[in-house]
Structure 1
Amino acid sequence: MAGRASPWPLRLLMVLLTLAASLRLSHSKDVDVLLKFKERLAPNGGDAVLRNWVAGSTPCEGNVSLWTGVICDSGDVYGLQLEHMKLAGKLSIDVLVDLPVLRTLSFMGNEFEGPMPDIAKLPALKAIYLSNNRLSGGIADGLFKKFRSMKKVHLSHNQFTGRIPTSLVGLTRLLELRLDDNNFEGPIPDLRQPGLYLMNISHNNLEGPIPAGLSKMQASMFEGNKNLCGPPLDISCGSSQAEPSSSSEKLSPALLVIIIMIAIGVLLAIIGVIFFMLRRPRKQMEPGLISHSITRKIGPSDAEKLEQGSVESSGGAKKVAKEEHGKLMFVKEGAQRFELQDLLKASAEVLGSGNFGSSYKAVLFDGPAVVVKRFNKMNGVGREDFQEHMRRLGRLSHPNLLPLVAYYYRKEEKLLVTDYIPNGSLAHMLHGRGGSNLPPLDWPTRLRIVKGVARGLAFLYEELPMLTLPHGHLKSSNVLLNDSYEPLLTDYALVPVMNQTHASQIMVAYKSPECAEGGRPSRKSDVWSFGILILEILTGKFPANYLRQGRAGTDLASWVNSVVREEWTGEVFDNEMSGAENGEGEMFKLLQIGLGCCEMDAKKRWDLSMVLEKIEELREKENREEGSSFASEGQANTSKAMTEDELFFSTNN
């Protein structure tokens, strides 16, 4: 009997050991593949930027990336995002075929040369980003035949030649196609994918009629191709474009000179009228401004900065799309449309001014009140990538996100337009009420705010999986409160378009402990920011007070730990927080969650999914008959000494 079968516990143990060994083998194989790929990168095998790609370590821990540029999913390598790293040489991806879960590749903004890499060897890819390199030559017509789930193909700003591969027609799930600024020629393939919302083939050498399936795209997506015709272009297919030039050849030289001089005179007159009209709104901005205790009027210099337009060129040969030059571009569905001139004419006030730029409230004539934020350090990407990212943000919709309404692009300065929220920010409600009649936030409201912030943050994590920092700048002044005190996150997902040096100095996630020690931010850097926000909401203390004293940003967490180290005591809570009857136990639970988010060691720090689960379990009251009072009437609250000017103008926290 003993030799017939092993007891089931032993067999279960053997199965588990086999699975564990298989996982270790799989992860070890991922390491070997990535290190082989690194060796083929130039210069110096990517050592300058991929220092933590070393043997003996692991690239992924769950969904957390431990190696630069690696996107992880359940411990597997899901994607590579090696952007703007000055990598050069020939791009060979053959070795990556041994990464079974690989779904996305991005090598944008490098200096790779040579032909298009053979991505057909990776048929499970969903997205390929190769824009802004030096790749050249033709692309095999059947390159995309094997793909069934490909959604995004970005090949813009290279030197590709020949015809656009007709195999793109077979990508039934295609959402984004960027082929602009290359040297493609010939006709456009008959693309009819129902989900294709972004398609840019401008500045090539394409010819012939535009397929009917693309006729509803913006005309700017086809500009720079002299021989294209049909909708949405105003060029009828079959019409002769040579007649005007041939007739001009019959004119005498003297008559031509006269015509040119007349045309120059008319042009100068038109420019003079336009200049006069553009100067008029500046005088209308100053008289109608709304007074406010922390605002100042917008003067002519501010209006001038808003009014100025610019044309960014690439090598002096490309121009900004006509309909986008000098215009606000709307990304929010159903938003009331208005022009930049409407903003210049509007009654306005300055809400804040900091290292990112200034924020204005503009009350449009017979229209809504909006907030215009001017960013002068948003030069992380070029015009096309900036516009694409803004459109991506415009598609986000969640009850706890403040939607982006519109944007305005200049090379050195950008404007982002959002709705105006009268209640202002959470920071103002916690620290800047001053002598106002606004009541302090009670415990049920604070708990509702924490839950809303957690849900909004989780939504960003889900919708923007390609971003290392789906928020990046989470702090109380970037949490607005609507009429029912529901939180609305703002200034989210801006890291990809920010000047990286400026972002690392200013944005909150870069002040996490791992960044302070010289490391790189990760998704848990956002979790750390959320933990500091939770502690701020519960204690009423403002984290920037510690920063201005030259101490580490985690001092608020250290202070909480020092208070509760010996005994869990109610002294840690804000003494202005009312409505806490029978809720002290739930407050302590939230305090523990906040401290779990503020673990110094990112590996020990809680994942956002765990944080959200724990927060959703919290209630306003405990299941007990009587609560205990814990607020001390005489307790000093140093954060209340913060002035409104510090609150709204400081961006160093």
Structure 2
Amino acid sequence: MCSSKFFNYLLVIALLLLYQHATAEDSQDGFHGDERDTLLALKEGFNNSFLDGNWTGIQCYMNSTPNWYGIRCINGRVTGVSLENMGLVGKIKPDALVNLAELSILSFKNNSIHGNLMEFSYNPKLKKIYLSGNRFDGEIPSSLLGLNFLESLQLQENNLAGSIPGFNQSSLREFNVSYNNLSGKIPDTRILQSIGLSSFVGNQDLCGAPTPTACSSLNDSSDPPNSNKKNPFFSSTLVVVDVIVLVVLLIFFIIYYKKYKNLKKRMKRRNSVQVDEEKRDAITNNSMENSVPAGEEDRGKLVFFDKNGTHFELEDLLKASAEGLGKGNFGNCYKAMLEIGPAVVVKRLRDLKPLSSDEFVKYVHAIADKKHPNLFPPLAYYYSKDEKLLLYKYASNGNLYNRIHGERGTRDRVQFGWRSRLSVARGIARALEYLHLTIRSQTIAPHGNVKSSNVLLDENDEVLVTDYGLISLIALPIAAQRMVSYKSPEYQGFKKVSKKSDVWSYGCLLLELLTGRIATHSAPQEANGLDLCSWVNRAVREEWTAEIFDVEIAAQRSANHGMVRLMQIAMKCCEKSPEKRPEMAEVLREVEAIKVVVDSEDEEDLSLDQSITDDSLSASTPSMLIADERR
């Protein structure tokens, strides 16, 4: 009897050992069903045809090369998932990484994945996390603080919100949360305070070191909550201070309201005068005398910059018939047809800084002194207390905005070919490089308002850049509202512009030139624009690049390489971080290096081929762009 029980006991132990050995063999042979199920669930969220065909069977076997694309394995366990630049679109569940306990590297960068970030408490061995260039939203999960081996965390260029957790892992070497919607004070941990400013830019509601923005008491959460309740004297003092602050604010509000009412009355009178002037213009056949009102006692003289050129008097200008050219950002423009001499353009300046006569003269002379074949300097100026004018030659072929977008779909439309567009890109780059070389200050944008409507074409279609230097004349609030450089990412985040802001504006203009689409930051009031930088980046990422180029140039297949190269240059100019943008001199060299390949068939028939989904174009564009980024 005893021997029978003993035999049964040995049998149970043997069965348990066999089961344990079989389980261990399954683990070493790569049959981790839980890991495989987790990866398959992750794949289902992406709905990607490539992964659907590739992620089948066993993901990895022992230390052999993994069978699944983007998967890394050691001893049959998944240690890395790297799916970069694949155009993945979908939403990841918070528990998407459960069962991947050996995971050390995770990379989904440069896709279009959305939703909240995953829960990382299941992955204690994670060292490197690359999730930049997606559309993740929500808050940064606190579970990241529990990753004691974390070396790199890249979360830039997403839509993350909320505050930054107090990362302080000694292993953390790389950290970037730039260009999100994060807010609040950056934690005072040793690790985060050692990170450079570039890792936090593009989050305009962040404050505290290393950003230059100081935190107010409302967003500084470094003190423990309700700490003042322990001190009754402090509480009563705080109440008194609050009352004083409220009284002061009330006084300021009353003063502001009075000034606002006075300003409103003045603006109403001014608008009334302007309406009356426009009515008089229509009644009197648009004579310049009605377009530029000035009393006899206040009339000065026209001052010409070129002492040897053709001159005329103010009276001649006022007698000339006038044609309204439109309302610009800084004043109305008129074409004046003089009785003797060529037509001129008169720009009435408004919203200027409170400048004295000497200051105004100094600034306009600085503008006129810039001499370059692709710049359009003023001919003359007029200064009085109530009226400031700049006079220019008349450019007979209009501006670049109308050349790109005008008369689309009509018989009157003159095709705008690749060679002409490249010539325009070069002319603008030459003018900007000259301005950047002759203006030494790094704290202003030498042009400040680079856009297609500020590029003129003369009777020979020569490129003439105008409206440069006005940034020194215009009041800052008006400039920030209307000038293109102030729409740049660095001004939106840190209220700063520089030469690199001009480079950004030039990149946006190149994309407008290549795509034939209107840029949102430089569109006229009556037009609906598009964020071209984001749109082109998305097109390249999702590989529908055949839709990028304007149909008028997409049909010129011999020019494909040049168009792609110019787009690469434009995208480098449009980098969100100013430090990553090239200098204008480097931009010019690269634009000048683009060769014009002449194909007679392409040149003769630009409207012929609407099938612009040419394989070579759609295939070469993303690969060339990616190769350029790697260089």
Q: TM-score, normalised by structure 1?
A: 0.47
Q: TM-score, normalised by structure 2?
A: 0.48
Of structures 1 and 2, the larger Rg is shown by: 2
